[in-house]
Amino acid sequence: MEITTTPFPSSKKIYVDGELHPIKVAMREITLTPTHLANGNIEENPPITVYDTSGAYTDPNITIDVRKGLPRLREQWILDRGDVEILDEVSSDFGKERLNDPKTQHLRFEYNHKPKVAKEGKNVSQLYYARQGIITPEMEYVAIRENQRIEQLQNAPKGLANQHPGNSFGANTPVGKITPEFVRSEIAAGRAIIPSNINHPECEPMIIGRNFLVKINANIGNSIVTSSIEEEVEKTVWACRWGADTIMDLSTGKNIHETREWIIRNSPVPIGTVPIYQALEKVNGIAENLTWEIFRDTLIEQAEQGVSYFTIHAGVRLKYIHLTAKRVTGIVSRGGSIMAKWCLYHHKENFLYTHFEEICEIMKKYDVAFSLGDGLRPGAIADANDEAQFSELETLGELTKIAWKHDVQTIIEGPGHIPMHLIKENMEKQLKECDEAPFYTLGPLTTDIAPGYDHITSAIGAAMIGWYGCAMLCYVTPKEHLGLPNKKDVKDGVITYKLAAHAADLAKGHPGAQYRDNVLSKARFEFRWVDQFNLALDPDTAREFHDETLPAEGAKIAHFCSMCGPKFCSMKITQEIRDVAEKGMKDMSEEFIKAGKEIYS
Amino acid sequence: MEITTTPFPSSKKIYVDGELHPIKVAMREITLTPTHLANGNIEENPPITVYDTSGAYTDPNITIDVRKGLPRLREQWILDRGDVEILDEVSSDFGKERLNDPKTQHLRFEYNHKPKVAKEGKNVSQLYYARQGIITPEMEYVAIRENQRIEQLQNAPKGLANQHPGNSFGANTPVGKITPEFVRSEIAAGRAIIPSNINHPECEPMIIGRNFLVKINANIGNSIVTSSIEEEVEKTVWACRWGADTIMDLSTGKNIHETREWIIRNSPVPIGTVPIYQALEKVNGIAENLTWEIFRDTLIEQAEQGVSYFTIHAGVRLKYIHLTAKRVTGIVSRGGSIMAKWCLYHHKENFLYTHFEEICEIMKKYDVAFSLGDGLRPGAIADANDEAQFSELETLGELTKIAWKHDVQTIIEGPGHIPMHLIKENMEKQLKECDEAPFYTLGPLTTDIAPGYDHITSAIGAAMIGWYGCAMLCYVTPKEHLGLPNKKDVKDGVITYKLAAHAADLAKGHPGAQYRDNVLSKARFEFRWVDQFNLALDPDTAREFHDETLPAEGAKIAHFCSMCGPKFCSMKITQEIRDVAEKGMKDMSEEFIKAGKEIYS
């Protein structure tokens, strides 16, 4: 199996120690070259630490063996809490069946870890702990992880720690420092979640909430038409490399149980799924044959593998379905359409809605979070913000309260296709209806007329809704509406969403968010080409684009680029202006002639 | 010379006749396939007309010969006004010199058209005519061109003419119809311009103003480092094909006089330039050697070639320059830095500012519009909305009033690098300072950390500022900050900006803007794959992405795609739901079983 493990250029993995717990928080440090000042002096540029989702794959000191899976970072933290038991075998009927199926033997992950489950009467969710006042290692981990961007401002070169005050729509944006206690309080309030199934100890804790960095999710997964386990594992690692904060495995093809196992064991980020997809496979794709029992077994099966959040389309109520009939594109959510079909066929209420409390009981035993699905999201600009969509959102608000009653972590899924001027209403309504539970949207796409470029039509909406308060953005790749994304598409989608999320962080004014922009802009202005590449979200592409026109190594220290050439370089001229300005504005003319001749003869 | 002339798939050029003038307005009509209804009936889908910037190149009835240039559409309109004289030879010293230079003989366009200039005492600007109450053929042309999207709603299939009410920030958004008189009144008010140099009669009239469709500009041009005349002409045609409404020729390399001639003679859209670039070439790149006389000669040289708008950095005043010294990236505008250097060297006020009225005198003789340059625009998020930028904008407001005194059409250039939450302030300040003259921004980029993806970081800002009221968006390509764009980059930039401009049109609620989205979404929902491709901004890429996973021709009529496969297809299921809903919600269960079996057995 081919897995990408190369570290980023001029980057190394660093680990920051916890204070409350014996934890080591992984980050990436980018080393910079010094600035050569006009007066001949050299000015050092301190390294910059950036948030790192790439996991052990970019640490050359860790040996990667996908057959064994990643190191089990959280294993001891979980066991130390003393509230889980280790099962002798998996609980789900389907899990047992697959384990003993000789036909899938060759596909099976060597399963040398027994599943964990909460002890009788225990709740192992981070929300439960938070409400008990407990700061878990997971909470401290994310606090350190998120706080680092603020911490490093203390060593910032002159002027570079400054940033524009934002205008976050969140009421509780922290100023100055993200503390473990702040993390705990946000989780306790339901405003943030740490997806952290006790059966995915390989996962590095991360937090989803609008008072933290905006996160992104990448969807992967095979379909009946194409793709293999190998491809999906590499897509996972690849997506994390470029910045995916969580991965959703949306497999609907063959062997999705085994595919998921490989993905989870090798994923440094939480995995989400839509269990109804697999449940439908179990009834051979016939939606009306779905039953609560089959679905329940699927939840347990996936919870014991380590899925950290489940998309549950419990808001697709029977009474809402007719509202979609006059839409231009009806129901476009796969899960939503499956449940709608089931409801219509049986003329019964959605069994996910009627069994919601039973689902909560399962979720809290493994700390699986709800991602309450928007099965009635609009699939076209024409259908945005309509009655079907908003009725479902109101039901999701009702379900959020039930989930919270059980101390189950909850996020809410959002659209979809929304023109720019209707985006804010989505965010405001979601916060109101769902009592500030984190919002997690797909885009939204701001126009329908650019298939092939929907990573961009949706990045516009994603950046805006991130600014308005959306906590996590589900990526869209260039292949959206057209085909299954390949590795290139996954990367394009992830980088596009990473920049959209960052644009949102800047607009919200997250402390320290602008530091990387400032450092990169300084490098750009000083013609430190290699630093500019290395500070970019995608160093490889930045370098490749530069080299396409000016491939020579010498060009990377040249004080100009191919766009303007040396004579027209505004940045070169500006340096001359700055030199003059620093000498004061009096006698400017004479000074400038002199300075100019000396510096650029 | 290799020029792209293929028509778009299932598209033909149509020409709509004028009523006031004997004009024929070019548009593109896309033919659609019929819908096969579940009941076996066939429902026709009427063709849709879209705004078309591709010029004669996509009309197979017109023979293209780049050595002769495009048909001179406006020649007679201009002559019929009786206010121009035809010169025996070009007026500029440089123009004469180049015409007689044997060294450039092989590069020269066969110049068989003599330059036109306003008769003594005449003003030939569209602004002048508009204020005289005259509706020119140019005005009627743009009215028909812009009105078509509204007109065709009369034949729209049921429900598809609907769109979301927008919330345009413009006070004068027309409802129902764009009339020639409305066009005239917007121009007279200074809220819109039709860039239309009398020496570029090949150009198809277009309008820039916030009560019309949002326009986009593509920059092309060689630099000293790379590129040839052939490449630049093809880049022009290529950019227009994909949707560029104007082209700026930013050449700074060799033979820019000849390059420009070839571009203008073959461009169906107005051409803008930054004359200071060429003026600087004339003094061998030494900014301090620039003089008003050299600049003046350059203006006349380019005006007689047919440039329709000039970027003039007259707002870079001596007193503002020191404001840039403490920025992270100083001055990043090439023109701005050249003028700043000149000002500092001589310790004199910018000669573009002091000679501004003389520039107006030249502009009105040819109907060249001002694009007042933002030489002090921010080049980094850190420098956004600072004193340097806004001081210059105030000066541009002052200059707008002077230009209007001379009836010279005027637009205002804007930034640059701006975080999302500071974009609106730019638009509001521009409208206020410049009395609603159209705004024309570069992006803005909403973060600095994604070189290689700056078409996207900037499309986010562009869509937003377009929504807020920006009239034209200058594209950014993926190569921004890294290298000179090639053909692929030009296309990526144009399509990205086209979708951003369209997202803005939707958010503003331009009448009829949503029709193409609705038609495409209907095609998507009905699995009319080929129609979905053909309605896309980029049909080639849409088809190619689809075929990458499912290349068989049969897959283009399949009722599913590679993303979900047939069993999981939400759209297929929705059709079933819709069929049931149409039969009424009572007895739903039985009906559905029956319907489902019949339709999808």
- Convert the pLDDT of each residue in A256-266 to its tens digit: 899 999 999 99
Residue percentage of chain B with pLDDT more than 70: 90
Q: At A50, is the pLDDT very low, low, confident or very high (cuts 50, 70, 90)? A: very high
Helical H segments across B311-386, by residue range: 334-346, 351-354, 356-366
User: Left if phi > 0, otherwise alpha if psi is -120 to 50, otherwise beta: which for B347?
Assistant: left
What residues of A are in contact with residue B329 (Cβ under 8 Å)? 521-522, 524-525, 571, 574
Q: A interface mutation test: which of B288, B482, B520 has the most A CBs within 10 A?
A: B482
- When pLDDT is averaged across residues B268-284 and rounded to a whole number, the result is 96
Residue B597, pLDDT > 50, answer no
The rounded distance, in Å, linking the Cα atoms of A472 and A440 is 5
- When pLDDT is averaged across residues B345-366 and rounded to a whole number, the result is 97
The rounded distance, in Å, linking the Cα atoms of B130 and B166 is 28
| Side chain identity, residue B423 | I
Give chain B's mean pLDDT: 91
Six token digits for residue A7: 């570290």
What residues of A are in contact with residue B331 (Cβ under 8 Å)? 570, 573-574, 577
CA distance A530 to chain B (A): 11
Q: At A581, is the pLDDT very low, low, confident or very high (cuts 50, 70, 90)? A: low
User: Left if phi > 0, otherwise alpha if psi is -120 to 50, otherwise beta: which for A345?
Assistant: alpha
First to last CA, chain A: 56
CB-CB under 8 Å, B253 with A575: no
How is residue A585 annotated by DSSP? S
Residue A600, pLDDT > 50, answer no
pLDDT at residue number A135 = 98
Of A29-38, A576-585, B155-164, which range is least confident? A576-585
Six token digits for residue A316: 């697709």
- Count CB neighbours of A294 within 10 A: 17
- Report whether B334 belongs to an annotated binding site: yes
Q: Judge whether A563 is closer than 8 Å to chain B, CB to CB.
A: yes
- Report whether A232 belongs to an annotated binding site: no
Q: At A132, is the pLDDT very low, low, confident or very high (cuts 50, 70, 90)? A: very high
pLDDT at residue number B598 = 35
Cβ–Cβ < 8 Å for A215, A269: no
The rounded distance, in Å, linking the Cα atoms of B164 and B149 is 15
**Reported ipTM:** 0.94
| Side chain identity, residue B510 | H
What residues of A are in contact with residue B580 (Cβ under 8 Å)? 344
CB-CB under 8 Å, B381 with A567: no
CB-CB under 8 Å, A332 with B571: yes
pLDDT at residue number A176 = 73
Instruction: Count A/B contacts: CB-CB distance under 8 Å.
Output: 462
Give chain A's mean pLDDT: 91
Residue A236, pLDDT > 90, answer yes
CB-CB under 8 Å, B517 with A562: no
The rounded distance, in Å, linking the Cα atoms of B373 and B273 is 11
Q: At B315, is the pLDDT very low, low, confident or very high (cuts 50, 70, 90)? A: very high
The rounded distance, in Å, linking the Cα atoms of A131 and A123 is 11
Q: What is the distance, to the nearest Å, from the Cα of residue B92 to the centroid of all Cα atoms in its chain?
A: 29
Q: Is A48 helix (H, G, I), strand (E, B) or coil?
A: strand
Which A positions 170-199 lie with beta carbon below 8 A of chain B?
none
Which B positions 291-330 lie with beta carbon below 8 A of chain A?
321-322, 324-326, 328-330
The rounded distance, in Å, linking the Cα atoms of A163 and A506 is 9
Q: A interface mutation test: which of B50, B344, B376, B569 has the most A CBs within 10 A?
A: B344
- Convert the pLDDT of each residue in A520-549 to its tens digit: 999 999 889 999 999 999 999 999 999 987
Nearest CB partner across the interface for B331, out of A457, A482, A574: A574
**H/E segment holding residue A442:** strand A439-442
Residue A496, pLDDT > 50, answer yes
Q: A435, A367, A437: which is closest to A128 by C-alpha?
A: A367
Residue A106, pLDDT > 50, answer yes
- When pLDDT is averaged across residues B515-536 and rounded to a whole number, the result is 95
Residue A410, pLDDT > 80, answer yes
- When pLDDT is averaged across residues B556-561 and rounded to a whole number, the result is 61
- The position carrying tokens 């033919």 is B31
- When pLDDT is averaged across residues B187-195 and rounded to a whole number, the result is 98
pLDDT at residue number A86 = 97
Residue percentage of chain B with pLDDT more than 90: 77
- When pLDDT is averaged across residues A297-316 and rounded to a whole number, the result is 98
pTM of the model: 0.95
Angle of helix A454-468 relative to helix A487-508, nearest 10 degrees?
30
- Convert the pLDDT of each residue in B405-421 to its tens digit: 999 999 999 999 999 99
- Convert the pLDDT of each residue in B64-104 to its tens digit: 999 899 999 999 999 999 999 999 999 999 999 998 899 88
Residue B594, pLDDT > 60, answer no
Cβ–Cβ < 8 Å for A274, A337: no
| DSSP-assigned states of every residue in B224-257 | TTB--HHHHHHHHHHHHHHT-SEEEE---SS-HH
- Report whether A564 belongs to an annotated binding site: yes
Residue B179, pLDDT > 90, answer yes
**H/E segment holding residue B492:** helix B487-508
Higher pLDDT among residues A572 and B247, named by residue: B247
The rounded distance, in Å, linking the Cα atoms of B97 and B421 is 51
Which residues on neighbouring strands pair with residue B340, listed in sequence order?
none
CB-CB under 8 Å, B225 with A537: no
Which residues on neighbouring strands pair with residue A192, listed in sequence order?
A209
Q: B346, B19, B474, B417: which is closest to A521 by C-alpha?
A: B417
Which residues on neighbouring strands pair with residue A249, listed in sequence order?
A220, A273
pLDDT at residue number A466 = 97
Residue B555, pLDDT > 80, answer no
CA distance A577 to chain B (A): 7
Cβ–Cβ < 8 Å for A55, A236: no
Q: Judge whether B457 is closer than 8 Å to chain A, CB to CB.
A: yes
Q: B459, B471, B536: which is closest to B508 by C-alpha?
A: B471
- Report whether B440 belongs to an annotated binding site: yes
- Count CB neighbours of A24 within 10 A: 12
Residue A144, pLDDT > 50, answer yes
pLDDT at residue number A377 = 96
Question: Which residue in chain A is spatially nearest to B485 when comparing CA positions?
Answer: A563
Q: A386, A391, A396: which is closest to A418 by C-alpha?
A: A386
| Side chain identity, residue A254 | K
Q: Is A304 helix (H, G, I), strand (E, B) or coil?
A: helix
A163-to-A151, A516, B175 alpha-carbon distances in Å: 15, 11, 42
- When pLDDT is averaged across residues A340-352 and rounded to a whole number, the result is 93
Residue percentage of chain A with pLDDT more than 90: 77
CB-CB under 8 Å, A517 with B381: yes
Helical H segments across A33-155, by residue range: 75-80, 93-99, 126-131, 137-151
Which residues on neighbouring strands pair with residue B371, listed in sequence order?
B311, B411
- When pLDDT is averaged across residues B172-199 and rounded to a whole number, the result is 91
- When pLDDT is averaged across residues A165-179 and rounded to a whole number, the result is 70
pLDDT at residue number A599 = 29
Q: Is B106 exposed, middle or buried (0-12, 13-18, 19+ CB in 10 A)?
A: exposed
Q: Is A211 helix (H, G, I), strand (E, B) or coil?
A: coil
What residues of B are in contact with residue A580 (Cβ under 8 Å)? 344
pLDDT at residue number B600 = 28
First to last CA, chain B: 56
